[in-house]
Structure 1
């Protein structure tokens, strides 16, 4: 299962970069969907190996966070420049600046960022992320990190979903 997930991750990278055609063997959208389906089966298999939901959440988060924070810091220092980036985000309303700083440092809620923007100098929800000017996702250090936010949301829900499904299976 791990090898399939690696190949799917490479397919996503291949979609985002103009890389070798072999990396695009299934396309980005299909790769992301398949990756989440396989991850769901994997979570169902391993969740009982944890002592509690809390240890499960911490373990899953700590598998993502170190790699994310290294990539975010490299992006900040090498691509944006710290001073330039800080100058950009401080032009946002205070709540938006706080939210962007929080989500960039923790990964949490990056998926929600795709639906947030600035309207009348205030942080607002939008149906379509392109309707905002500027779109808030543009201030994410790693814009593709929204998938990690979604993954963390899934991890938070997984223990409860499995508990309900098992209860339904035993009562059937």
Structure 2
């Protein structure tokens, strides 16, 4: 769900080409419908994932919003390392947001020296003012119908049964009184 929103927001902020990742065929379809230009299926072998990252990079990545960390990010970072010594021509900003695929990765030193990779935590530079401004902007886009989310409203008296469910698959649950 967060990735689908990120794709929509990136488009609204003027992003050019957007490449997403996913494992579930329905989610992959939804990410494409949300505006991604391509989605890399993470159920492939590591070699196929690396080849897909390289292929979809085309002219390179400017910003990577990383909700996964773990093995997929490790593979992606390795694809950014040039095979010959060349001057770094562009920076690649990786914003680390989540860790659905793991909380640690081996990080090759060459990735930091030669690829232009810059890694930031999602909270870097956040201020109460920027959070308020961003939240207000998102609410405006929701009101204008520019953002869509799959939401299920559930009465508060059903919270126990909802807590035990496992069928959300990208859906957000909103508890209402």
Q: TM-score under structure 1 normalisation?
A: 0.29
Which has more strand, going by share of residues? 2
Which has more helix, going by share of residues? 1
Q: TM-score under structure 2 normalisation?
A: 0.28
